[in-house]
Amino acid sequence: MRLRKSISMVVAPLAFLFFITGCSNADKVQSLKKLSEETIGYSPDEKEQYIAKLSLKSVDSDDISTIARVFSYDRGGFIKMTKGLKNSSKFKIMLLYFLRFPVHRGLTDDDLLYTVYKGKRVKEISRIISSPAVSKCMSALNELAPKKLKGVIKMLAGVYYVGSNPHSVQNTTWAANSLARLNRDIMLVELVRGSTAAKLLVQEGDFDLPERTWANFRWSGRKSIEIPLPHPHLGADDVPYLKELIKSEYEYYRKAARKALEKMGESI
């Protein structure tokens, strides 16, 4: 119990440290000093909520995968950090937590075969993204500007390695690299399938997605497994969101949503 609490206590400060990794040493010192001054007298819970608000900036930065990894160490601490945030902000952070599909650096060809056999990995990722908890969070993506949405989806689909490779001096095995690429391809497609706004990017030709991916067994020499990926398309479930996007602050969505509804024969 003490260990779990200790992990929770360090998650938020660690996350903040990752925000400033691109700064100079002087800037890092200033940032940490400012954080210390601004949280004087805060309880641990208040401090975590304060840093959770800072973490919202990471949604538009290149640190998104790193932040998600830090948060995923402790579910209780992560969930607690979202308390007090408005839904749109909370949902964006929750996506960082839920959408982690780690790849072990020491993955073997046998492990890879087990992971992808009969489309297992595609079904797993699809099931999680379509689950009630994640579906609710996905609505937050419809609020992002078109270019920002594309960037966030690509970052959410980023590679997440864990562990070490005991099999050779290489940092990761060939099988691990293959699964990482496969994960990314599947995630890109499934995230777009779960976002009406992202489907509009595909409709307008502004988001290219893979039609298939492969599991490659370079070490054992097994034949590669080709995995076809479903093409995201707008359907009846998207109609309520399309009607909302017609009123979007972004002209791109307004025009694309109107075009989609007209094509589907829906009243506007």
Burial zone of 154 (CB within 10 Å; 0-12 exposed, 13-18 middle, 19+ buried): middle
Q: How many helices (H) and strands (E) are present in the chain, helices listed first?
A: 14, 4
Give residue 134's pLDDT: 85
Give the separation between CA 165 and CA 127, rounded to whole angstroms. 29
- Residue 136: is its pLDDT beyond 50? yes
Plot region of 42 (φ>0 → left; ψ -120 to 50 → alpha; else → beta): beta
pLDDT in tens, 117-130: 888 888 888 888 88
Which pair of tokens denotes residue 158? 């980023």
- Three-state SS sequence of 73-127: CCHHHHHHHCCCCCHHHHHHHHHHHHCCCCEECCCCHHHHHHHHHHHHHHHHHHH
Q: What pLDDT digit, counting tens, does each position of 216-238 carry?
A: 999 999 999 999 999 999 999 99
Instruction: Identify the band that residue 157 occupies on the pLDDT scale cut at 50, 70 and 90.
Output: confident
Read off the tokens for 84: 């007090």
What's the pLDDT score for residue 176? Answer: 93
Residue 244 has pLDDT above 50, yes or no: yes
- What's the mean per-residue pLDDT of the chain? 76
pLDDT at 191 over 60: yes
More reliable by pLDDT, 65 or 207: 207
Tokens of 94: 């929750």
SS3 225: strand
pLDDT (0 to 100) of residue 80: 65
Strands 161-162 and 103-104, bridge-based pairing: parallel
Mean pLDDT of 142-146: 89
- Amino acid letter at 21? T
Between 85-89, 101-105, 116-120, 191-195, the lowest mean confidence (pLDDT) is in 85-89
User: What pLDDT sits at residue 142?
Assistant: 85
User: How is residue 104 written in tokens?
Assistant: 């072990």
Rounded mean pLDDT, 54-65:
43
Q: Is 266 left (phi over 0), alpha (psi -120 to 50) or beta?
A: beta
Winning range, highest mean pLDDT, from 105-119, 151-165, 195-209: 195-209
Q: Mean pLDDT, to the nearest integer, of 243-255?
A: 96
